[in-house]
Structure 1
């Protein structure tokens, strides 16, 4: 029997900015109410980046926590991946800035990956391939966002959703005997995209557009919420079914669902379709809002550090984001 390499999560970390914005604060900014926001989204509060912070600051803080918990030094990392929609600069990549700030001097590759809310799952899938092919031994995978910087705070249907933060995981290569069940590690990832839905959720402007304007709406997120909601619910159900079927696993075998934290109604609908009890679904959207690529690693870190998710348990990570993009990761923690 031969052995191969699989990716095992050895540590997680997270960081949330100090400033907390309550729904009551939004009531003073736009025509909305705390009750309406909670009823429609499940969100009670979100964290907002400080004026003197940038996305890399959040990413570095989460990464430092993960590295410390793993008992590693920065130069033990062989690859840095940062999933973000809100990079510090057009270039260089936020990942290279994080690499520098962490003191990683071993010249390992570092790059950003942009798939909006599915970004962390995409990055996890890419990191897993690097490990499986033997190119690296340990990867640092971060989801980090400063969504408040691209939020139109006068758009009452949109500004209530977003929050800032960062989450990180460290993956390490472990030997796996071929044909044997995975005792701990990433079993499979599945990622998809369909660009025809671009206009339903996007930021209209970008550095390559000639017709740049000073219009706030051109530089901030716009979303057709009802249409996005319908596609998201159906797509997340489909990716969950696909993941379980392709890996010959029944939904009853799942211990945890760790979904992208976009909307409590979407999260509950997905859990219900999988036949999971509410107690098996990790929910942080009420405290964090939608933090895009940071939402899954933030939720994962919280559930691991508070002792809910334990070694040997089976969890499904899934996300849906602008593009549209969507994906999943089936992991035996």
Structure 2
């Protein structure tokens, strides 16, 4: 079974560059210097009003395919990970399939994850290549969180930007080069720490879900916006990520 590797990668960012100075001018009560010190983020790209991750994916994919001389008919599958789809249905992968002019033999589907999306996508692409004989899989990962963040929510507005990465995975030409190992984990109990409460079937949008809410730290949002418990997310990462990292290093005898 040949190893799988990332042969090409390209990206596209939202067209609007928003600096910390821009945020401070719009929100003079925010301590932007403290936020920058804690996060290290000095600027971020936001999508324009009519710009979506599917547009960024098309931009990045066409650039990658042109530069790497990858013909549309050589793409066996498109996997699109996003929490910012154009529509409830059809999936973004189908929309991108049509825009790129890919053949009907190309398998496509969406899945929705946040930080772990790229790793899960690698695992699925690797599995398809090794078990189904695919030669070239396009993995698209990206979001436009700015569409879901309240302008007065400094915990999220100052942190997240909008971008898409397009990766091509193929069988490695070298038996000693490629994806070494992948571990997948989940902890569904942390869902409430990063959540949009309204807009789905469980809690549809209504006259009350659009009402502004101010939390104890002064962040403002509605139930239709991202609500992030930054402290809980940070503590989770500090508690859970190091042992997972150590395990995969130990399993593969890497010091």
TM-score where L is the length of structure 1: 0.69
**What are the within-5 Å matches in structure 2 for residues 254-293 of structure 1?**
none
| Matching of residue 173 in structure 1 with residue 158 in structure 2 | no
- One of 146, 149, 157 as aligned partner of 1:148: 146
Cα pair distance change 1:164/1:211, threshold 3 Å: closer
- One of 231, 242, 253 as aligned partner of 1:248: 253
Deviation at 1:211, TM superposition (A): 4.6
Deviation at 1:46, TM superposition (A): 0.3
Q: 2: CA distance between counterparts of 1:157 and 1:210?
A: 24
Q: 1: CA distance between counterparts of 2:89 and 2:171?
A: 30
Q: 1: CA distance between counterparts of 2:66 and 2:19?
A: 31
Q: 1: CA distance between counterparts of 2:47 and 2:148?
A: 12
- One of 66, 90, 110 as aligned partner of 1:92: 90
| Matching of residue 190 in structure 1 with residue 190 in structure 2 | no
Which one has a larger percent strand, Structure 1 or Structure 2? Answer: 1
1:274-327 C-alpha deviation (Å, 9 max, x unpaired): xxxxxxxxxxxxxxxxxxxxxxxxxxxxxxxxxxxxxxxxxxxxxxxxxxxxxx
Q: What secondary structure sits across from 1:115 in the alignment? A: coil
Say what the alpha-carbon RMSD is for the aligned residues: 1.6
| Matching of residue 25 in structure 1 with residue 30 in structure 2 | no
**What are the within-5 Å matches in structure 2 for residues 63-212 of structure 1?**
63-174=61-172, 182-212=175-205
Q: What secondary structure sits across from 2:191 in the alignment? A: helix
Deviation at 1:212, TM superposition (A): 2.7
Residue 233 of structure 1: aligned partner: 238
- One of 9, 12, 34 as aligned partner of 1:12: 9
TM-score where L is the length of structure 2: 0.89
Aligned residues: 242
Unaligned runs of 5+ in 1: 177-181, 251-333
Q: What secondary structure sits across from 1:116 in the alignment? A: coil
Q: 2: CA distance between counterparts of 1:89 and 1:184?
A: 39
Unaligned runs of 5+ in 2: 211-220
When Rg is computed on C-alpha atoms for both structures, the one with the higher figure is 2
Residue 266 of structure 1: aligned partner: none
